[in-house]
Structure 1
């Protein structure tokens, strides 16, 4: 987990005042002198990230302007940044380009760096699933990795039962009444809807929805990849999800636009690792904690304020 993500998770109390800061047009330079150490650290981290994005974009711009051969660079000219720059032809200004670069780095890295270790953690605890998945990967050609059915099932099931982000934060923009999918019985009667006032901050549980037995059946809390290979689909939940009935990537118009890219990253990395290595439990105690996203930490380092995420596994080369 990056230092920036850890800092941002601690800055939640400052979020409500952000719109007012924007209206006041307070510059980032001025905010760097604010009497809040955490805020200053985040600004320092984002400044560094902006500098790196600027450098990468400037270098790639120079190469494209000179008509340089991109076969020798990372991605061979097929990377997202190069494709974005070629397709826009000046439609995106420099600031927007840097913003898109930062979104890809920050949002993409944080979620996949949580999901991939979780996949390996699950596979180490379930050797029969690991062996079955490895056999499928070895049977097919490398270019077919994104189409492998069992790999797809394992990745989706991991994202369902162990979503990197455990809740979605929203704010109600106007007084509204939200109908409930299922009535709730209370001592005073049955509740079929919830009135929500304008300005109310909401935390929508991703895990609760992803493990709801009304949607996923009696095995909702069980890691069972074969559910994605069965003919029977999850029950209709009324959720405007972009990935089956999961809320892992959000819902509605604010759903994650990069969910296919994230799934692709997880699949490719998992396939490459399983082709060469076997993963087993190491015996060392650790726990998954929520700090922005879910990440593993060693139990013996619980009191260490500068600890970093670690997943202790026994790894053997095949």
Structure 2
């Protein structure tokens, strides 16, 4: 079926959507219906088309200036209004105190299942989520990561050595290299080695190539206008998740590559040789499987979840860092000097707290380029979300909470919050120095790692692999800046949302996500 026919199908559904509009809003809580709402909503697309066409977070920042930290926007195709929550007390309440009462939305959860698998990030319900966490936590603890440091370094060095060889073959310089090509291979190679006892051959083996190619095919359609249309239709008509629509099916390519190939091979090689004292994630999962605590299906789902999530976030954070370093030579030189002057190889604990400028570079990149740009949740029961900043409703009342009904969608615009000029002064500027000394802005910020929202606000559903991701990032980036120098290409980068925050060359989304720089051997 062609795209035009799918759009025609969508238009047919839209007509029925308007007929159902009144009934779909019948349970809307009174305070939600009276929240401030920005002007300019489209009759058909609400405010969501504006969100799509603006750079990520820009529309929400503009609306925060007009309406305050908490307001509502009109959803596309007559879906109920969406509560936009930027209030720090409200976010803390939702993510730390009541997160199990707020599930992934019916747009987000199926997408998580397609991209990653039905693992820890997909599951709902306190009991089931805590059961999975107990299974996985020991493999990602600080104690375990300390023992993994040599393997992380070796796996990263495999890719760094490949980069050095390519540069040597090109007289020490490569123009317009897509650094995501290399950061993806480094991150995947490390995750394969330390978590799953699997060799991705420096990211150049057939399995690695299939996973990385599948991921690009999955995210690219979502950056297009047709991808936006489908996303909005999925919110209004979740049944579309089950139809054979190519743009939706493409999101599962990388996951299915893992589950139908890599995961099976990992299990075959290791299931009869598991050491119960091993701390890697695969051994923990195989032991649980052998003891009938998890099914074969869950084993596969957890493997795909952690292979995908384990390398994707690190890939992009490294890529955005190299883009900024290429355009900030003084920062690049200062970072290189801090790492080069460290006596010997830094240990895990050295990376955790001994390299303050490296920390500042990481924090600033996570602030400006959060992998999860927006968090979308749906209330499962009636609730009252407390607010730090009172809001004036359209009827003139001033309130300190928002009353929500079951089914209410709540969106936390993470990237907008983390770029607010009212907090950061120069929110769009990448400036690691803001994290050093007296200028450190953390007292003003929201709950979470470094008082950012990138890992889920330190609540029960915070990213379980955050320590590992940070450790891998620091080792790989340290190797990159001490071996190579990066410069800008003069091209302009555009951002878009395709499940996670993705980079494209401006007006060239058809080429897929990429971050071009010039790279030189030192």
Specify the TM-score bucket, using the shorter chain as the normaliser: 0.7 to 0.9
Going from structure 1 to structure 2, the CA distance change for 1:83 and 1:276 (only over 3 Å counts) comes to farther
Quote the residue 2:282 is aligned against.
81
Contact 1:114 1:293 (C-alpha < 8 Å) held by counterparts: no
CA distance in 2, matches of 1:268, 1:16: 44
**d(CA) in 2 for partners of 1:211, 1:299:** 21
Structure 1, gaps ≥5 residues long: 23-30, 68-76
**CA offsets 1:196-252 (integer angstroms, 9 cap, x no match):** 2210122211123323466x4545554332333325562265x542x1321111132
Superposed, 1:35-46 pairs within 5 Å as: 35-42=244-251, 45-46=254-255
Aligned residue for 1:2, secondary structure, equals: helix
Q: Are the equivalent residues in 1 in contact too, given 2:505–2:515 (CA < 8 A)?
A: yes
2:453 maps to which residue? 247
Question: For residue 430 of structure 2, what is the aligned residue in structure 1?
Answer: 223
Q: Cα distance, 1:264 vs. partner? A: 1.5
Q: Higher relative CO (CA 8 A, sep ≥ 6), structure 1 or 2?
A: 2
Partner residue, 1:73:
none
Q: 2:345 aligns with which of 142, 145, 148?
A: 142
Cα separation, 1, equivalents of 2:316 and 2:480: 16
What CA distance in whole angstroms lies between the structure 2 residues aligned with 1:240 and 1:299?
Answer: 33
CA separation of 1:284 and 1:256: change in aligned 2, threshold 3 A: same
| CA shift digits 1:244-277 (9 cap, x unpaired) | 3211111322221111122122212211111111
Q: Is the 8 A contact 1:210 1:246 kept in 2?
A: yes
Query: Offset of 1:36 from its aligned partner?
Result: 2.7
User: Retained in 1: the 8 A contact 2:424–2:441?
Assistant: no
**Is residue 467 of structure 2 the alignment partner of residue 260 of structure 1?**
yes
Distance 1:150 1:273 in 2: 15
1:208 corresponds to: 416
Residue 115 of structure 1 aligns with which residue? Answer: 317
Query: 1:61 and 2:262 equivalent?
Result: no
Distance 1:193 1:291, change over 3 A: same
Closer, same or farther: CA 17–81 of 1 in aligned 2, 3 Å: farther
3-state secondary structure, aligned to 2:384 = strand
C-alpha separation in 1, matches of 2:221 and 2:258: 14
CA distance in 1, matches of 2:384, 2:255: 38
When structure 1 is superposed on structure 2, of 133-142 and 35-44 the one drifting more is: 35-44
| Matched position secondary structure for 1:253 | coil
The CA distance in 2 between the partners of 1:94 and 1:250, in whole Å, is: 29
| Residue 121 of structure 1, CA deviation | 0.8
Conserved in 2, the CA contact under 8 Å of 1:178 and 1:194?
yes
Paired residue secondary structure (2:407): coil
SS at match of 1:121: helix
Count of residues in correspondence between the two structures: 290
Return the match for 2:514 from 302, 306, 310: 310
Q: Sort the Cα spacing of 1:184 and 1:221 in 2 relative to 1 into closer, same or farther, 3 A.
A: farther
Cα deviations by residue, 1:36-59 (Å, 9 ceiling, x for unpaired) = 333444455543321121222222
Match of 1:27 in 2: none
Equivalence for 1:102: 304
Contact 2:288 2:294 (8 Å CA) reproduced: no
Q: Secondary structure at the match of 2:390?
A: strand
2:378 aligned to which of 164, 168, 171:
171
Is the contact between residue 222 and residue 497 of structure 2 (CA under 8 Å) also seen in structure 1?
A: no
Separation (CA, whole Å) in 2 of partners of 1:301 and 1:8: 14
Give the distance between the partners of 1:103 and 1:14, measured in 2 at CA. 22
More helix per residue = 2
Unaligned runs of 5+ in 2: 1-214
Deviations 1:289-314 (A, max 9, x none): 22222222223534x3xx22121101
- Between the aligned partners of 1:99 and 1:297, the Cα distance in structure 2 is 30
Q: 1:43 to 1:209 in 2, by over 3 A?
A: closer
Pick one of 256, 262, 269 that aligns with 1:47.
256
Measure the CA separation in 1 of the matches of 2:244 and 2:428: 45
Q: Report the Cα offset of residue 102 of structure 1.
A: 1.0
Matched residue SS, 1:250: coil
Specify which of 205, 216, 234 is matched with residue 2 of structure 1: 216
SS of 1:182's equivalent in the other structure is strand
